[in-house]
Amino acid sequence: MDDLQQFKQTFFQECEELLGDLEGHLMALQHGEGDSNTLNAVFRAIHSIKGGAGAFGFDRLVAFAHIFETVLDLMRDGRLQPEPDSVALVLHCADILSDLVRAAQSDSELPLQHEEEGRKALIALAATIGVNADPHAADDELAALDAELAAQAASVAPPEPAAEPEAPKAALLKYLVKFAPRDALYQRANEPLILIRELRQLGGFLAKADASTIPPLDQLKPEAAYIRWEFEIETDRGEQAIWDVFEFVTDDCDLEVTCLNPPAQAAAAPAAVTPAAAPAATPAIETPKPAAAANPAPKSPPVAAPMQQQAAPQQAVPQAAGAAGAGPAGAGAAGGEAAKAVRSIRVDLDRVDKLVNMVGELVITHAMIAQQTEHLHADQHPELANGLAELSHHIRDLQESVMAMRAQPVKSVFARLPRLVRELATLTNKKIRLEMSGENTEIDKTVIEQLGDPLTHMIRNSADHGIESPEDRMAAGKPAEGLIHVSADQRGGRIVIEISDDGRGINREKVMKKAIEKKLVSADAVLSNEEIDNLIFLPGFSTADQVSNISGRGVGMDVVRQNIQALGGRVHIQSRPGHGSSFILTLPLTLAVLDGMVLKVGVQSYILPLANIVESLRPEGDQINVVANASQLLRIRGEYVPLVYLHRIFKVPGGIDDPTKALVIIVEMEDGSKMGLVVDEIIGQQQVVIKSLEENFDPIRGVGAATILGNGRVSLILDVAGIKYIAEHETHRPAAIALQGGKAQPGIALAAS
């Protein structure tokens, strides 16, 4: 990858983060929860995207972002109010901007009219207050502004020395601002015209343009910066207000601010430590943005400035400028933010994946060493025992740190959902509100990347099939606006994502009728409510009466189940007719390592995830109850738990049939139900590296993955939900399970351990 492509990749990664934050801020504005800080954050996101797009020559993106930025700037200034209609327009334009970013990323072209409607609407919105937001009008406006400034300069009368300043004038300070743009300022799509507009709003204003460095026409470079500016500003808003105008361009220009009429206490004023206080021979320098720009809360610069001078009078001018206007607390906060920023770096995911794999191999190697030395007595080899214990501790810390590097909040996936819901509400002529919670729940990046499609299909299903029309909802005594709620939560070693709605729920009669019509079930089949609900996951199943671009072709929900199962997860439905439905996804936090209990069943060893285990015990005879179908229940603390014999499920020879001589491990599923697994022996707890079976073999119900034990043998990792399904639904199982040629083969036992 060349340097340009690497920079582009970084730009698009930043765009993804900025667009995610942008969506959240705009939703806050839509719900009336935003303030001036929210508007500033929206403006900064658009400005950053525009600047990067300009550097890479994405002209359509720059042109649209420019108009977008102009309208947001009018909202920041209070000239446009963020009313519902204008916020809805901004939300729509944010979607267009997102489309343009993705088109640039994929090196594809959207239709030319894609952004035209939004562009015209933004220009029309700005025109309501007499502002022309069309970038093509910028040249004419700049020429008119130059003429106006020249007229102001010609009409300025010399000051009258004998005149006493009026009381209000005594509070005004006059500043000389020398502003020299660099080439990078224009290359990042910034315009001095916008800066000049903001400076004029500070108070009395006079501008002079120095065009002496413009070369002959045949030597002129279109993207070069030749014109320098000098501004005289008389304002009562302080020097910090001037710095704020140049907040986004301080790295792309030479900037100097000088107070021409400092007050009597100038020794204690912030101007004493600004770039203007440099010796006269010092040329205009590139000055960092003052710390107060990032943290404007402190209001006592006269006290902070002398402290700064006494502490370090020999400091360079730019450092002093950074401290101007910031008290000790402000400086500390700014320093803390800077330190936090430098610690954040971007690393290719491939490198992190290699590191994760290496840590996994290290875990396996440690298990092998521990098993080879377990026959040695700790009192005879104390150094070896202590060393192995210390190594185990460090490996666990290393593994947790590496996995934390791959963890990301699900916010990046949830950020796409508000736009999807808005589009679905428009297409279906329904009123739908989206609520989200748990966006900061962290999960492995590999899992996050594959969550997009399942969530999209389930949201579409809720909007199309679940939420009723406003008329039907009001007739049923519900509010006209439907609700879809998406939540994420960590429970033990798994993450649970729930998509629920307050719609009509699943029409089980209609589902059963469609299934019989499509010959997916027999006409005389008797199914439970849960089994009927799960029919919607069958390939080709749909209850839509009409085929539309939302649903109706029998695809979607089967994709959800396939994708979730490929991640080692599960999906189940809870539905109440007339009240709504919930789709619950249960996913592993990581696809790399887990803590498990090693179990002995006959001649085989299995790994049971620690997160599922509630307790283990050896029951007494009076605790075992046999029911009519010969199934056994364990009575424990007034609760009855069904017993499942693992050696019967997997047809393993040599298993113990008497639960009073075996061990029972109580496990709990995500829905809260419990089950007792009967095993021969518990060997011990161990951290294992997950090896996927589905990459080389077909999925096997009851088995989630595999791992390599310390003795080098393969052991299967159990899936308790799959085991429960086998126990309840499948009475005839193969004699054994083997994996040959990518297929599950009956009759040959898998070599485990």
CATH architecture of residue range(s) 136-153+170-289: 2-Layer Sandwich (3.30)
Say what the pLDDT of residue 479 is.
92
Say what the pLDDT of residue 314 is.
37
Say what the pLDDT of residue 86 is.
85
Quote the mean pLDDT of the chain.
75
Say what the pLDDT of residue 676 is.
93
Q: Strand, helix or coil at 727?
A: helix
Edge-to-edge strand list for the sheet holding 580-588: 432-437, 482-491, 494-501, 580-588, 570-576
More confident residue, 324 or 586: 586
Say what the pLDDT of residue 126 is.
86
C-alpha–C-alpha distance, residues 131 and 111, integer Å: 28
Span 510-533, pLDDT tens digits: 888 888 888 878 888 888 888 888
Q: What is the DSSP string of 254-271?
A: EEEEEESS--TTGGGSGG
Q: Strand, helix or coil at 233?
A: strand
Please identify which residue in the block is written with the tokens 């009967």: 678
**Which pLDDT band, with edges at 50, 70 and 90, does 473 fall under?**
very high
Selection from 335-339, 395-399, 578-582 with the highest mean pLDDT: 578-582
Asked if residue 665 has pLDDT above 90, the reply is yes
Tokens found for residue 314: 């020999």
Asked if residue 269 has pLDDT above 50, the reply is no
Mean pLDDT of 725-730: 79
Which helix H or strand E contains 406, and what residues bound it? helix 382-406
Say what the pLDDT of residue 586 is.
84
DSSP state, residue 5: H
Asked if residue 486 has pLDDT above 90, the reply is yes
CATH architecture of residue range(s) 3-133: Up-down Bundle (1.20)
DSSP state, residue 463: I
Say what the pLDDT of residue 202 is.
84
Tell me the fold of 410-588.
Heat Shock Protein 90 (3.30.565)
C-alpha–C-alpha distance, residues 639 and 752, integer Å: 35
Asked if residue 347 has pLDDT above 70, the reply is yes
Q: Strand, helix or coil at 635?
A: strand
Pairing of strands 482-491, 432-437: parallel
Say what the pLDDT of residue 33 is.
76
**Which pLDDT band, with edges at 50, 70 and 90, does 343 fall under?**
low
Q: Give the chain's largest Cα–Cα span.
A: 113
Say what the pLDDT of residue 606 is.
93
C-alpha–C-alpha distance, residues 679 and 597, integer Å: 12
Tokens found for residue 134: 């069309």
Span 488-511, pLDDT tens digits: 988 766 788 999 999 988 888 888
**Which pLDDT band, with edges at 50, 70 and 90, does 542 fall under?**
low
Q: What is the DSSP string of 494-513?
A: EEEEEEEE-S----HHHHHH
Selection from 409-423, 638-652, 712-726 with the highest mean pLDDT: 638-652
Span 412-455, pLDDT tens digits: 788 888 888 888 888 888 999 999 998 888 887 778 878 888 88
Tokens found for residue 145: 């502004």
C-alpha–C-alpha distance, residues 497 and 83, integer Å: 34
Say what the pLDDT of residue 75 is.
86
Whole-angstrom CA distances from 565 to 474, 592, 613, 693, 721 are 38, 16, 21, 12, 12
Tokens found for residue 33: 């929860």
Span 206-248, pLDDT tens digits: 888 888 888 888 888 877 888 888 998 888 888 888 888 887 7
More confident residue, 398 or 269: 398
Tell me the fold of 593-746.
SH3 type barrels. (2.30.30)
Residue 722 neighbours by CB distance under 10 Å:
18
**Which pLDDT band, with edges at 50, 70 and 90, does 83 fall under?**
confident
Residue 219 neighbours by CB distance under 10 Å:
8
Q: Indicate the angle between helix axes 84-105 and 417-428, nearest 10 degrees.
A: 110
Residue 5 neighbours by CB distance under 10 Å:
9
Radius of gyration of the chain (CA): 34
Q: Strand, helix or coil at 2?
A: coil
Percent of the chain surpassing pLDDT 70: 76
Say what the pLDDT of residue 264 is.
54
Asked if residue 164 has pLDDT above 60, the reply is no
Asked if residue 617 has pLDDT above 60, the reply is yes
Say what the pLDDT of residue 84 is.
81
> For 207, phi and psi rounded to 5 degrees?
-120, 145
Asked if residue 750 has pLDDT above 80, the reply is no
Going by C-beta distance under 8 Å and a sequence separation of 6 or more, which residues neighbour residue 629? none
Which helix H or strand E contains 460, and what residues bound it? helix 452-461
> For 716, phi and psi rounded to 5 degrees?
-85, 140
Span 185-203, pLDDT tens digits: 877 777 788 888 888 888 8
**Which pLDDT band, with edges at 50, 70 and 90, does 730 fall under?**
low
Residue 641 neighbours by CB distance under 10 Å:
21
**Which pLDDT band, with edges at 50, 70 and 90, does 407 fall under?**
confident
More confident residue, 272 or 551: 551
Secondary structure in 3-state letters for 172-208: CEEEEEEEEECHHHHHCCCCHHHHHHHHHCCCEEEEE
Q: Provide the residue type at 589 as one letter.
A: L
**Which pLDDT band, with edges at 50, 70 and 90, does 471 fall under?**
very high
Say what the pLDDT of residue 273 is.
38
Residue 375 neighbours by CB distance under 10 Å:
6
Going by C-beta distance under 8 Å and a sequence separation of 6 or more, which residues neighbour residue 551? 460, 461, 464, 465, 542, 544
Q: Which of 371, 406, 328 is nearest to 591 (CA)?
A: 406
Say what the pLDDT of residue 680 is.
93
Asked if residue 656 has pLDDT above 50, the reply is yes
C-alpha–C-alpha distance, residues 446 and 568, integer Å: 12
**Which pLDDT band, with edges at 50, 70 and 90, does 24 fall under?**
confident
pTM of the model: 0.56
Mean pLDDT of 91-114: 87
